[in-house]
A and B are shown apart, each in its own frame.
Chain A
Amino acid sequence: MITMKINGVEVKAEEGWTILETARFYGLEIPTLCHHEGLTPYGGCRLCLVEIGEGPRAKLVSSCTYPAEEGLVVHTDTKRVVQARRMMIELMLSVAPYSKVIQDLASKFGVTRMRFKIRNEECILCGLCVRMCEEQMDGKAIGFQNRGYQRKISTPFDLRSEECRLCGGCIYICPACQLRCQGPQAETAICNACLTMEPTCLDFYDELQCWMYDAGRCGTCVREKKS
């Protein structure tokens, strides 16, 4: 067993577990998007970021790919994590504004602005479909093409694939295919229809997650510690 600390609580993890698995085992919520229990961890969406280490050497890593290590100190909802996570959601919104999953994430994590030009690609290249096709459906019909800003998911040479059995696994697992609900602000880039409640916490909890998984929006829980 590996002993480590998550949010100040001592936890035990099995050999081979990731930080995410350990946290979830203890009921701690870490948001994910490109992660799926039946598929190999990918680490592409950067939503599951957590802060590891302490002091100047503390850094952010994706918890879905980072193995549990003896003596590791993990914080799941520091200000640093929340800020980076929000920027990731904002970036995802800018390329897939019509996805319900991403709109919901925006509401949940208090992303109320989207400051980039919309480039609606209906895909955030999370790679779920590619892994689904390969690992669960044994199809390998689709894959990534190119790199950097030209990266896309397609069949080889963009032709109808002979490997594809039209099983629909890729569509089933896609977080961007599902259309957003037509809420009160359907025309805008950001819906936020579900963002109705304001957090009510009044006190400062350094090592606790916000019960709304929304640390930082109201500012109470992440403000600087009074000395």
Chain B
Amino acid sequence: MKRIKKFKNVEELKKAIEQQEAARQQEKKKRVIVVSSGTCGQARGSLKVIEALKKALREEGLKDQVAIRITGCHGFCEAEPNLIIYPDRIFYQKLTPPDVRTIVKETLVEGRVVEKFLHRDPLTKERAWYENEIPFYQKQKRIVLGDNVFVDPTSLLEYLAIGGFRPFIKVLTRMKPEEIIQTVKQSGLRGRGGAGFPTGLKWEATRRAPGDIKYIICNGDEGDPGAYMDRSVLEGNPYRVLEGMMIGALAIGAREGYLYVRDEYPLAVRHVTLALEQLYKAGLLGEKILGTDFSLDLHLAKGAGAFVCGEETALIASIEGRVGEPRQRPPFPAQKGLWRKPTCINNVETWANIPLIMLNGADWFSSIGTSGSKGTKIFSLVGKINNTGLVEVPMGITLREIIYDIGGGIPEGKAFKAVQTGGPSGGCLPASMLDQIIDYESLTAAGSIMGSGGMIVMDEKTCMVDVAKYFLNFLRDESCGKCISCREGTQRMWEIVRDITEGLGQPGDLELLEELALATKEASMCGLGQTAANPVLSTLRYFRDEYEAHIYEKRCPAGVCKNLIRYAVIPEKCTGCEACKRACPTGAIQGTRKDVHLILYDKCIKCGACLEACRFEAIEAQREEAITIVREVKP
């Protein structure tokens, strides 16, 4: 790593940026291999791929002609580990170390594209040669995530090379705090953490709050199952978030700030720590930044793994060293926040948008999106979807476009059933809502929330009651337990839904569930409790027939709930291949080769291994005929 020297004034920083940009222009003449290596990439072996790549380049004698850039996540998790060869932008995916050797030989030495490593569209089966030809990227508008490809997140100079800190210089030298806030207000940026409060108003309230000491906080406590937008931004481009915070501090008049990052994100913590170190060394943080009167200290606070600490007052309590429990608002953090001083708390993605708004102007930002929701939003598209990954789309796009055009539809040709937006406290939207546009208001009207941007796609083999049970189980565990409405509410809802999935549902359960869900929503203090009922209410609203099938017919239409199903072999389809027999862990399948198999019910533990093993769809989940379990009589 190159040594960073301290920038004494704005001119020096400007010069450094120009130098780095020029160097980047020079670099474009030679080949650069960009390897995506965020947490997801590393989990799928990108570190080994990088080792193999370095070795292969050394052996071919290309070490000096080809540069390697190791970056954060590019969003296309399905294709990890992947690499892009610049300047052609050839995109190779799902690589193993031996593959890299082939690529170096074929593409770099002989100039041929290796077809088998190219991306193949799951629907059209066509191969895409270049990164920009991949449908996954085509409909996205990657203003926040896009730069991840161009930046080594561990190097400040790399960030300067893409024009980083130009927005900060502009703000520092040419704009008054009021003008900055006015620009943010005009841009129409709303909080990306979920509730969608206008960022400009929050800043203004904090600035106007009486008191000399003010704080800014970056909320990176992303705890939703299946959501990792903030992680990827922090891992892939931490400087942009920090620059956003610096601009915010300047506008609000804060001299100190915290980044609250959950400790379960070791790579994000590492990159943020490194970025902070380098910024201090470069004189961009600390006393008298760039020789001006502006001073700012930023600290990293590590979250210890509580979902509720994503709630702002709980997060503040956690930073202060108290138990992470929410408190009543008002007073809002903008009036009395951290250490009872005015505090502005924004989500990672919100902060990351700030430098872009400052650079390109409020009009540019507000030209993207719908009338009420501006800009783009990153969603983590996961679940039963072909192209798993992070997608950044303009507000106002439809669910259909995200799921089918970008996500490539549902795997194995199955039918779409529902999409769960907004994390555990969001709601499930059915197929009839696919043409729903995405912005804060319309998602709320549909019974879900924007949340921090989780998007879990479910196919026809998903039981919605089981889904509700899963999210309730998460919430009853993650509720802080302060309010009885949330603690007992989620626990009791979970009990009712669990009983339903076990075939113990009774008439009247749904009415009680609805009543309880509504009370939990109304009576709870913080956002967790107020939205905890959403998984229940939305599934009840759109999939009530499934609940009813469980209760009255003791049948699980999707064949998921173990107590209500049994696996059986369809004799006409069974080829007698013994695949299921080998997969069965309890030896419950009988039958000889080329003979129709049989499942012994007394031995079967309903693990579903046979269902997965069978390639002929010869095993199905049937309704369990003999349900004799009776729920203990309620007092």
Q: How far is the CA of A41 from the CA of B525 in the complex (A)?
A: 13
Quick check: A149 and B330 within 8 Å, CB to CB? no
Contact of A87 among B323, B491, B516, B525 (CB under 8 A): B516
Given contacts A91-B484, A118-B635, contact A147 B525 (CB under 8 A): no
Q: How far is the CA of A85 from the CA of B485 in the complex (A)?
A: 10
Contact of B635 among A43, A84, A189 (CB under 8 A): A189
Quick check: A125 and B481 within 8 Å, CB to CB? yes
Quick check: A67 and B331 within 8 Å, CB to CB? yes
Quick check: B328 and A61 within 8 Å, CB to CB? yes
Quick check: B525 and A62 within 8 Å, CB to CB? yes
Say yes or no: is B70 at the interface (Cβ < 8 Å to chain A): no
| A residues in contact with B323, CB < 8 Å | 144
Given contacts A60-B523, A95-B488, A147-B478, contact A46 B635 (CB under 8 A): no
Quick check: B525 and A148 within 8 Å, CB to CB? no
| A residues in contact with B508, CB < 8 Å | 115
Quick check: B478 and A148 within 8 Å, CB to CB? yes
Total contacting residues, chain B, CB less than 8 A: 38
The residue of chain B having its C-beta at the shortest distance from the C-beta of A66 within the complex is B328
Q: How far is the CA of A42 from the CA of B325 in the complex (A)?
A: 11
Contact of B330 among A45, A69, A147 (CB under 8 A): A69
Say yes or no: is A226 at the interface (Cβ < 8 Å to chain B): no
Say yes or no: is A208 at the interface (Cβ < 8 Å to chain B): no
| B residues in contact with A126, CB < 8 Å | 484
Q: How far is the CA of A144 from the CA of B524 in the complex (A)?
A: 19
The B-contacting residues of A in range 145-166, CB under 8 angstroms, are 146-151
Quick check: A148 and B522 within 8 Å, CB to CB? no
Quick check: A149 and B328 within 8 Å, CB to CB? no
The B-contacting residues of A in range 31-71, CB under 8 angstroms, are 41-46, 49, 59-62, 65-67, 69
Contact of A46 among B484, B490, B495 (CB under 8 A): B484
Tally the A-B contacts, defined by beta carbons under 8 Å.
113
Quick check: A147 and B481 within 8 Å, CB to CB? yes
Given contacts A67-B331, A87-B523, A118-B635, contact A44 B483 (CB under 8 A): yes
Quick check: B484 and A94 within 8 Å, CB to CB? no
Contact of B481 among A45, A61, A66, A151 (CB under 8 A): A151
> Per-residue CB proximity of B315-345 to A under 8 Å, as 1/0?
0000000010001101100000000000000
The residue of chain A having its C-beta at the shortest distance from the C-beta of B478 within the complex is A148
Given contacts A43-B328, A188-B635, contact A148 B519 (CB under 8 A): no
The residue of chain A having its C-beta at the shortest distance from the C-beta of B512 within the complex is A115
Given contacts A45-B484, A65-B327, A144-B481, contact A91 B635 (CB under 8 A): no
| A residues in contact with B479, CB < 8 Å | 147-149
Quick check: A46 and B485 within 8 Å, CB to CB? yes
| B residues in contact with A43, CB < 8 Å | 327-328, 482-483, 525
Quick check: B330 and A88 within 8 Å, CB to CB? no
Q: How far is the CA of A225 from the CA of B269 in the complex (A)?
A: 58
Quick check: B487 and A88 within 8 Å, CB to CB? no
Say yes or no: is B477 at the interface (Cβ < 8 Å to chain A): yes
| B residues in contact with A118, CB < 8 Å | 635
Chain B contact residues, majority secondary structure: helix
Say yes or no: is B492 at the interface (Cβ < 8 Å to chain A): yes
| A residues in contact with B518, CB < 8 Å | 83
Say yes or no: is B476 at the interface (Cβ < 8 Å to chain A): yes
The residue of chain B having its C-beta at the shortest distance from the C-beta of A34 within the complex is B484
What is the distance, in angstroms, from B495's C-beta to the closest C-beta of chain A? 7
What interface size band does chain A fall in? 35 or more
Q: How far is the CA of A67 from the CA of B328 in the complex (A)?
A: 9
Given contacts A91-B492, A125-B487, A189-B635, contact A44 B482 (CB under 8 A): yes
> Per-residue CB proximity of B549-577 to A under 8 Å, as 1/0?
00000000000000000000000000000
Among A59, A83, A116, A124, max chain B CB count under 10 A is at A116
Say yes or no: is A74 at the interface (Cβ < 8 Å to chain B): no
| A residues in contact with B308, CB < 8 Å | 147
Say yes or no: is B515 at the interface (Cβ < 8 Å to chain A): yes
> Per-residue CB proximity of A182-194 to B under 8 Å, as 1/0?
0000001100000
Given contacts A60-B523, A69-B330, A188-B635, contact A148 B481 (CB under 8 A): yes
Say yes or no: is A80 at the interface (Cβ < 8 Å to chain B): yes
| B residues in contact with A92, CB < 8 Å | 484, 488
| B residues in contact with A188, CB < 8 Å | 635
Quick check: B485 and A148 within 8 Å, CB to CB? no
Quick check: B484 and A62 within 8 Å, CB to CB? no
Q: How far is the CA of A73 from the CA of B497 in the complex (A)?
A: 37
| B residues in contact with A114, CB < 8 Å | 635
Quick check: B522 and A147 within 8 Å, CB to CB? no
Quick check: A88 and B490 within 8 Å, CB to CB? no
Quick check: A87 and B515 within 8 Å, CB to CB? yes
Q: How far is the CA of A168 from the CA of B525 in the complex (A)?
A: 30
Contact of A91 among B476, B477, B481, B485 (CB under 8 A): B485
What is the distance, in angstroms, from B479's C-beta to the closest C-beta of chain A? 4
Say yes or no: is B2 at the interface (Cβ < 8 Å to chain A): no
| B residues in contact with A146, CB < 8 Å | 481
Quick check: A149 and B484 within 8 Å, CB to CB? no
What is the distance, in angstroms, from B209's C-beta to the closest C-beta of chain A? 15
17 A–B contact pairs at CB < 8 A?
A: A43-B328, A49-B522, A60-B523, A62-B525, A84-B523, A87-B485, A91-B484, A91-B485, A94-B488, A117-B495, A125-B484, A126-B484, A147-B479, A148-B475, A148-B490, A149-B481, A149-B487
A-B contact sample (10 more), CB < 8 A, given A45-B484, A65-B328, A117-B495: A62-B525, A69-B330, A87-B516, A88-B485, A91-B492, A115-B512, A118-B635, A148-B478, A148-B491, A188-B635
Which 7 A-B pairs rank lowest in CB-CB distance, beginning with the nearest? A151-B481, A87-B519, A65-B328, A91-B488, A148-B479, A84-B523, A149-B491
